[in-house]
Amino acid sequence: MTSAAVPNQLLIGGRWCESATGERLAVIDPATGREVDSVPVAARSDLDEALRVAASAWGDWREVDVWTRSAVLRRAAELVRERAEPIAETMTQEQGKPLAEARSEVGAAADQFDWYADEARRMYGRLVDGHSRANRLMVMRQPVGPVAAFTPWNFPALLPARKLAPAIAAGCSVILKPAEEAPRTAMHIAVALQDAGLPDGVLGIVTGHPAEISEHLIASDVIRKVTLTGSVPVGRRLLHLAADGIKSVSMELGGHSPLLVFADADVEEAAEVAARGKFRNSGQVCICASRFFVQDEIAADFTEAFVEVARGLRLGPGDDPATEVGPLSNERRLLAAERLVADAVGKGAHVVLGGRRPENMPEKLAGGFWIEPTVLVDVTQDMAIMSEEPFCPVAPIVTFADLEDGLAKANDTPYGLAGYVFTNDTRTAFLVAEGLEVGMVGVNNVVIATAEAPFGGVKQSGVGREGGAEGIDAYLETKYVNVRL
């Protein structure tokens, strides 16, 4: 398979193949609502073969020296960057985001492989001085084993890379199930790994019906580790499945990130950064600010500036260079967005921008999943937009009185993924960063995810961390050895 081809098959044992049944799922272009490709529906026999191969490949890959693993990951990073354009074009076609955002995501995915090429050589054990010189105490770090990895559709290159890079660096084999809505981007990544020299079987790709695949893989004794990026309900289900087998888990789940703007902040700059951050990827970003809390005395000015920025964003198909906001990725998200707006308006909120499907779209885009960037004011806590993860371009703006009031409102959620604060006061910045019940905080910025830093949440937003030096820990077991001389 060449780098320019768009993979659309299962990857089992190093071979791209159809499913045993020949059944396929349609891949839909969100901008048009039309089918652009299809991928196989893995049968049980396909999953069993993927499990067999993963078990066998792990036995060999864990014995490969870390310098060789590092070289494979480094070469994969280079190939992903070289092939950025076809990967980004595939991503835009199946996920809908603007091409510029897709290119940026491909670069971020490459960074994961680059980072873990180094971390592969940093999996240090240690010697421990014990009570007696007659004994030598050692701590080893070894790969956990075959991994079942599940990723969503909103970042179809970056999120698989966040799991594949550390798992492969640690010496694990992986069976990846990418989202059925946007599966081919991950397949491009798999081709890059193959071409970089990853041995056959270390990586498998299966597509099809999520519940059937997850239940079958997690129930297998082959799988030692389960990792998911997804919603809280899916995470809860997979945690139950993993618990039956006492399997290690990493879960990066939903978010509903607060952004607090204090009166001393630069209002115009805060509004610009906040609005562009919110509507990136049409609001389909787990860590994007999705509840905007503004101190009373600047609320009117901030709202006016925020709306002005949002109004100026160009809505359109991702392959148009002028587009800044693309379609929602599927019809479910469009219907959910409309429901959230209707619920808020029904309970007293006011729509100051958007809130509807755009009119006069070109005929070829009429079947796409479009909604205008939307801003709501007069929002109260009883509205669904304040308690449900929105995952759409709808921004609710709420006021607060002081630091204590702002933190109380920001933390009034079962989620705890990320939070943001805009202030020019160092004391306020530290107190809010410490007081937010989240796993990540941005101060005067909203673009905080990077390969070299840990990524993850607290409360119902997940378990464990991806990225940074911490990211490889999820794929390692610690073994203690006591030698009596």
The residues carrying an active-site annotation are: 252, 286
Helical residues (DSSP H) of 120-249, grouped into ranges:
158-170, 184-195, 210-219, 232-244
CA angle 95, 461, 277 (to 5 degrees): 50
Sheet-wide strand order for 476-484: 126-128, 135-143, 476-484
- What are the tokens at 79? 């190939």
Measured N-to-C along each axis, helices 184-195 and 158-170 cross at an angle, to the nearest 10 degrees, of 30
> Which one-letter amino acid corresponds to residue 201?
G
CA 70 to chain centre: 24
Q: How far is residue 284's CA from residue 255's CA, in Å, rounded to a whole number?
A: 11
Nearest partner of 170 among 133, 117, 114, judged by Cα: 117
DSSP-assigned letter for residue 302: H
Cα–Cα separations (whole angstroms), residue 40 to 102, 209, 335: 24, 10, 27
Q: How far is residue 444's CA from residue 429's CA, in Å, rounded to a whole number?
A: 9
Q: How does DSSP assign 13-32, residue by residue?
A: TTEEE--SS--EEEEEETTT
Give the number of other CB atoms < 10 A from CB of residue 212: 14
Nearest partner of 80 among 64, 95, 91, judged by Cα: 91
* Burial grade of 291 (CB within 10 A; 0-12, 13-18, 19 or more): buried
